[in-house]
Amino acid sequence: MNIAIDGPAGAGKSTIAKRIAKKLGYIYVDTGAMYRAMALYFIRLGVSADDSVSISSKCNDADITIEYRDGEQVVLLNGEDVTGMLRTEEVGNMASATSVNGDVRKKLVELQQKLAATADVVMDGRDIGTVVLPNAEVKIYLTASSKVRAKRRYDELVAKGETPDIDKIEADIIERDERDMNREISPLKQADDATLIDSSYMSIEEVVDAVTELIP
């Protein structure tokens, strides 16, 4: 049994996917974290996001492994636990820019399909229902307006003691959506058989209930 959740940045995919996985005893697979680990690797090497030749060749030297410790996903980059370094704006923007590369995608999609073949998973990302798990039993396309998504991100950063600029956050979100939805390979789009959930005016519990109702 596999559940695919796709949607734009900040729609609440990981929050919902984690809750559903916990409720059902499934494994939560955060595919964005894999693209982020790869992006961190390129940042550390000083590779520029538009240097597709270096990205294609260097991605083969990045060994990305997923482990589960106390039910939480841990991402290893060449053996180093980088889980805590992935959720920055810099890494997110680099992940969006470098995930357009076909060699990066091929490598990570294989890893994702292997994980889903061995366990019941709730997997979130951009191309899960369309490309990675086209036969997933349940497919969700989770979205929310860019204003609401920016406000959620803003609140998260304020809670961490930062003083973010909400307009800049929204502009970044719109730019990231543009790139993720318009890239040539595996763009973000709703699978034909996915159910659309707009979480703009829904609580986390309401979204979890809506997803749960779709599970056979």
Binding site for ligand DC (CB under 6 A): 9, 31-32, 35-36, 92, 95-96, 99, 125-128, 176, 180
- Residue nearer to ligand DC on the CB measure, 181 or 216: 181
Q: How far is the CB of 85 from ligand DC (least distance, A)?
A: 13
- Quick check: 35 and 104 in contact, CB under 8 A? yes
- Residue nearer to ligand DC on the CB measure, 185 or 216: 185
- Quick check: 110 and 63 in contact, CB under 8 A? no
- Residue nearer to ligand DC on the CB measure, 94 or 208: 94
Q: How far is the CB of 36 from ligand DC (least distance, A)?
A: 5
Contacts of 23 (CB under 8 A, 6+ apart): 208, 212
Contacts of 25 (CB under 8 A, 6+ apart): 120
Q: How far is the CB of 51 from ligand DC (least distance, A)?
A: 18
| Cβ burial, residue 76 (10 Å; 0-12/13-18/19+) | middle
Q: How far is the CB of 27 from ligand DC (least distance, A)?
A: 16
- Residue nearer to ligand DC on the CB measure, 125 or 191: 125
Q: How far apart are the first and last CA of the chain?
A: 10
